[in-house]
Amino acid sequence: METVLITGGTGLIGRALTTALLNRNYNVIILSRKINDNASMRNNLAYSIWNIEEQTLDANVIASADFIIHLAGTSVAGKRWTRKRKQEIINSRVNSSRLIVDSLKNIPNKVKAVVSASAIGWYGADGLTPAFSEASTGKPNPSSGGEGWGEVFEESDPPAKDFLGNTCKEWEESIDPVTQSGKRLVKLRTGIVLSKDGGALKEFLKPLRFGIATILGNGKQVISWIHIDDLVQLYIKAIENESMNGVYNAVSPNPVSNKELTIQLAKSRKRFYIPVHIPSFILKIILGEMSVEVLKSATVSAKKIVGTGFVFNFPTIVAALG
Ligand SMILES: NC(=O)c1ccc[n+]([C@@H]2O[C@H](COP(=O)([O-])OP(=O)(O)OC[C@H]3O[C@@H](n4cnc5c(N)ncnc54)[C@H](OP(=O)(O)O)[C@@H]3O)[C@@H](O)[C@H]2O)c1
């Protein structure tokens, strides 16, 4: 039985991934900052504490792992992006990567591959983003690096020169040195994860309970999303398929506009709803700089991952929300 060590395995993606790995007969060890009293207990599942500030962990978990999946990082959403919060967002990822990199260098181990989360925040906003629209700037969005609208971001595109672009760059670079220890490295630039258990979908659903379908800004911004079950299968493929190497966009092949996602969600819940536009300026007041997260349009390509032979079980938004 092979062992998968998952950092941040207690989170939304980690919990779903753990269940799938256990069902596939892997041992799973979750590296966590603290053991939670109501942590899930199952055969072949263990927890181990690491201390990222002090850069310490149990050497045995590194020695016994065949694969490492690196998900740890404080949430990008939820709290305003103050200077302190931004530093936490970066540090939680970069410093945890450093502990993995150093552990693989210093502790004898048999780890074959490391798979790290990254995010489509790498790419920034495409030309459909309201703040960058032709009407307001008279020219295409500079961060999309190309001409025209609805441009599709691919893995070879440079990082955006904004907070999330910089965060993703530092995050990816911080885990790169594992290749110097001879490990295969896969980085999954993940889109908005759709899960009934939490994350963005839970937030989209809240106003629907009151019959309001909230369309953010002009609603035209493109959301590159992925169903959590597909993402979990992608992580498993990344550890099992030795030909996978480097960066892949973890997004479905059919991104949708914010308006389409909201309306489809309302329809899938078979509720009476009134569509209400929340103007961009209100979102900017409420969320501050973080409003870019909900107003930004990012059309991200799934071509490379589809090229590996990966088949999406939830390729369309109707299937994902059904
Ligand atoms: N969900 C999405 O839509 C999405 C999209 C793109 C990328 N991602 C990335 O994928 C990864 C997993 O996402 P998720 O949705 O499962 O996140 P999540 O639910 O927030 O879980 C992340 C885990 O990271 C650990 N963590 C939290 N704060 C930390 C800190 N300050 N230092 C070190 N570890 C910390 C926590 O584990 P412990 O408390 O057990 O230590 C937590 O369970 C994240 O890095 C996220 O940025 C997610």
Q: Residue 295 maps to which CATH number?
A: 3.40.50.720
Spatial contact of 145 and 73, defined as CB atoms under 8 Å apart? no
291 against 313, higher pLDDT: 313
The protein residue with its alpha carbon nearest to ligand 1, atom 19, reads 11
Spatial contact of 154 and 108, defined as CB atoms under 8 Å apart? no
DSSP, res 181: G
The answer to pTM > 0.75 is yes
Rounded to the nearest angstrom, the distance between the alpha carbon of 137 and the centre of ligand 1 is: 35
- 193 Cβ closer than 6 Å to some ligand 1 atom: yes
Residue 137 has pLDDT above 70, yes or no: no
The protein residue with its alpha carbon nearest to ligand 1, atom 2, reads 193
- 75 Cβ closer than 6 Å to some ligand 1 atom: yes
Residue 140 has pLDDT above 50, yes or no: no
Count of domains observed in the chain? 1
pLDDT value of position 131: 52
- 74 Cβ closer than 6 Å to some ligand 1 atom: yes
Q: Containing domain of residue 99, as a range? A: 3-321
- Listed in order, strand segments (DSSP E) in 72-228 are 113-119, 184-190, 192-194, 212-216, 222-223, 225-227
- 232 Cβ closer than 6 Å to some ligand 1 atom: no
Rounded to the nearest angstrom, the distance between the alpha carbon of 183 and the centre of ligand 1 is: 23
